[in-house]
Structure 1
Amino acid sequence: MDTVKLTIKNQPDLYLEADTICPDTFAGKKAEEIAGLHVYIGREQHRLGDFFEVSGNAGATPEETKIVVNGDLSRVKYIGMKMTGGEVVVNGNADMYVGAWMQGGKITVNGNVDAFAGTGMKGGEIVINGNAGNYLGAAYRGDWRGMQGGKITVTGNAGSDIGTFMNGGEIVIGGDVDVHVATHAEGGKIIIKGNAKSRLGGQMVEGEIYVLGDIDVMMPGFAYREDVDVDMDGIKGRFALYEGDLGERHRKRKGQTIYAKLYQRIEA
């Protein structure tokens, strides 16, 4: 795998839209060609090389291309957007839409990310070694298609509205989450290793939520069913199983009504 290194040299005054930082766009290009790719600040068009030192040539295909980005990218959006293969490593914080609509490959952020990371994600893997903002793995504003596949792992905390309209894939949060988890979800799995606030699974019709810590307020649309033993992905323990959201219409499969499932650990 050939590696392209980007090191930020000029911080943008406003927010830089850099969806060109993607193995699919870099593939087959030399360093000088990559430096000439277009990025935008509002309507203003710039060169990627105006903001980053570029070294190394990309591989022939996205799968053969690795991008390493060094520096604080708190004002750089759309890193890895729509990527289908290859690898991106960000050594620093990143702004919104990391891995948005991603289909394959892997993104690792050694820092925090802002909102909408993994929005509309269909495949691949995102690892955030830090905290994630709101709308992680959620649908784009006004859309009903959230995360459909792939896996997102956050070692720290996550904000509100994660997994909104989610219907596939997996999200693992190592810390705590804010309100509104898996709202309108129709599938997928969310694991919260810390605590959750309230409004988990509102209008959720299918899928799974696992909470290893406390839940401040349980949604009234979820009914307790039974205590069960869980042994999954290295997580073991006794969990209380709830089903819901009972206020929603639910599909039937082989004559059985399908509900979303919420598991809360009661003993390790």
Structure 2
Amino acid sequence: MLGVGAEVRLRPREPIRVPVYAPCITPDAFAGLSEREIGSLEVQRGNRKVKLADVFHVEGDASAKADELTIRLQGDLSKVRQVGFEMATGLIVIEGDIGLLTGEHMRGGRIEVHGNAGSWLGTRMVGGTIEVLGSAGDYVASAYRGSREGMSGGSIIIHGSAGYELGNFMRGGAIEVRGSVGLFPGIHMQGGAILVRGDCEGRPGAFMRGGKIIICGHVPAILPGFNVIRISKGVKFKGEKVQGPFYTLIGDLTENGDGRLHIAKEPNKHLAYLEDLIGP
């Protein structure tokens, strides 16, 4: 049960011009605290540590259990980062744009963004759900630089578009983008599933070893490490059968990969040559 008890509301005291790192904004951290105690939690504004109440007006208390708590953030929060860090339960509702690293290491609960989200959304996510009603930046659900551990569980839904390297080193879970994506979706992918209902700028599945990528829109070209194996009438994604037909390819063979790349046939007439490469 999520967000049916107490509610805490946060509004910026003034326009936020310097990045604010606020990993304490989670139902887990707020649970059982009074309004004053919540305001005393520590965040980092630029190179200084300050109290949460120095940055936000805090209203309400969190006397409920974490799984019954809703945190509602209002305003332009595009410079507020790490909201929902290691969140395990409860509900965060963001009424506006939000900055980098939202839902980082998220383990459970739900985050709703009624606006756009910055880059690194859901990085190394383990569980829970993130839904963005706008668009998201680069590196959604990706590994840190130098790491091979991307998203391993949970679900991300983006109603708009997403940037480059969606699902970098993804190991599990599911990502749905209802708009279009940039270059390299599913790069180094090892498991899980990605559904793109719009177009892809190019190079889907580069270096992938496992998992599933479905692209319903236009793709400029297929990387040479993929072999077409059949034309599929439809492909399953989270219990839904996404209607095709799709070119189904296996790869990335340059990595001895066994991933599946499904590219919609109708928007990609330039890929008709693939039909001649399907074996008996």
TM-score, normalised relative to structure 2 = 0.90
Give the secondary-structure state (helix, strand or coil) at the position aligned to 2:183: coil
How far the C-alpha of 1:127 sits from its partner, in A, is: 0.2
Give the secondary-structure state (helix, strand or coil) at the position aligned to 2:131: strand
Give the secondary-structure state (helix, strand or coil) at the position aligned to 2:211: strand
How far the C-alpha of 1:267 sits from its partner, in A, is: 4.5
Counterpart amino acid of residue 58 in structure 1: A
How far the C-alpha of 1:60 sits from its partner, in A, is: 3.8
> Displaced runs of 4+ in structure 1, greater than 6 A?
none
Question: For residue 141 of structure 2, what is the aligned residue in structure 1?
Answer: 137
CA RMSD of aligned residues (A): 1.3
How far the C-alpha of 1:231 sits from its partner, in A, is: 5.2
Counterpart amino acid of residue 102 in structure 1: M
Question: For residue 264 of structure 1, what is the aligned residue in structure 2?
Answer: 263
Question: For residue 251 of structure 2, what is the aligned residue in structure 1?
Answer: 244
How far the C-alpha of 1:158 sits from its partner, in A, is: 0.2
Mapped pair 1:30 → 2:56: no
Once residues 73 and 184 of structure 2 are traced to their aligned partners in structure 1, the CA distance between those partners, rounded to angstroms, is: 32
How far the C-alpha of 1:234 sits from its partner, in A, is: 5.4
Return the structure number with greater strand share.
1
User: For 1:112-168, what per-residue CA distance to the aligned partner results, in whole angstroms no more than 9, with x for missing partners?
Assistant: 111100000000000000010000000011111000000000000000011000010
Once residues 93 and 129 of structure 2 are traced to their aligned partners in structure 1, the CA distance between those partners, rounded to angstroms, is: 12
Mapped pair 1:159 → 2:159: no
Task: Check the 8 A contact 2:34/2:63 in 1, yes or no.
Answer: no
Change over 3 Å in CA distance of 1:234–1:67 after alignment to 2 = farther
User: For 1:6-27, what per-residue CA distance to the aligned partner results, in whole angstroms no more than 9, with x for missing partners?
Assistant: 1122223310111111111101
User: 1:121-132 counterparts in 2 under 5 A?
Assistant: 121-132=125-136
Give the secondary-structure state (helix, strand or coil) at the position aligned to 2:38: helix
Q: 1:57 pairs with 61, 75, 81, which one? A: 61
User: For 1:150-188, what per-residue CA distance to the aligned partner results, in whole angstroms no more than 9, with x for missing partners?
Assistant: 000000000001100001000000111000111111100
User: For 1:74-118, what per-residue CA distance to the aligned partner results, in whole angstroms no more than 9, with x for missing partners?
Assistant: 110001111000000000000100001000000000011111000
Return the structure number with greater helix share.
2
Q: 1:72 pairs with 73, 76, 94, which one? A: 76
Counterpart amino acid of residue 265 in structure 1: A
Task: Check the 8 A contact 1:11/1:51 in 2, yes or no.
Answer: no
Task: Check the 8 A contact 1:176/1:194 in 2, yes or no.
Answer: yes
How far the C-alpha of 1:264 sits from its partner, in A, is: 1.2
Mapped pair 1:39 → 2:43: yes
Give the secondary-structure state (helix, strand or coil) at the position aligned to 2:195: strand
Task: Check the 8 A contact 1:10/1:50 in 2, yes or no.
Answer: no
Task: Check the 8 A contact 2:234/2:241 in 1, yes or no.
Answer: no
Give the secondary-structure state (helix, strand or coil) at the position aligned to 1:39: strand
User: For 1:19-61, what per-residue CA distance to the aligned partner results, in whole angstroms no more than 9, with x for missing partners?
Assistant: 1111111011011111111111233111111121111111443
Counterpart amino acid of residue 210 in structure 1: I
Q: How many residues align?
A: 260
Once residues 199 and 75 of structure 2 are traced to their aligned partners in structure 1, the CA distance between those partners, rounded to angstroms, is: 31
Change over 3 Å in CA distance of 1:231–1:202 after alignment to 2 = closer
Once residues 98 and 16 of structure 2 are traced to their aligned partners in structure 1, the CA distance between those partners, rounded to angstroms, is: 13
Task: Check the 8 A contact 2:115/2:135 in 1, yes or no.
Answer: yes
Task: Give me the identity figure in percent.
Answer: 36
Counterpart amino acid of residue 229 in structure 2: R
Counterpart amino acid of residue 184 in structure 1: H
Question: For residue 120 of structure 1, what is the aligned residue in structure 2?
Answer: 124
Segments of 5+ residues of structure 2 without an aligned counterpart are 268-280
Segments of 5+ residues of structure 1 without an aligned counterpart are 251-258
Once residues 51 and 162 of structure 2 are traced to their aligned partners in structure 1, the CA distance between those partners, rounded to angstroms, is: 33
Task: Check the 8 A contact 1:197/1:217 in 2, yes or no.
Answer: no
Task: Check the 8 A contact 2:131/2:157 in 1, yes or no.
Answer: yes
Counterpart amino acid of residue 243 in structure 2: K
Counterpart amino acid of residue 246 in structure 1: L
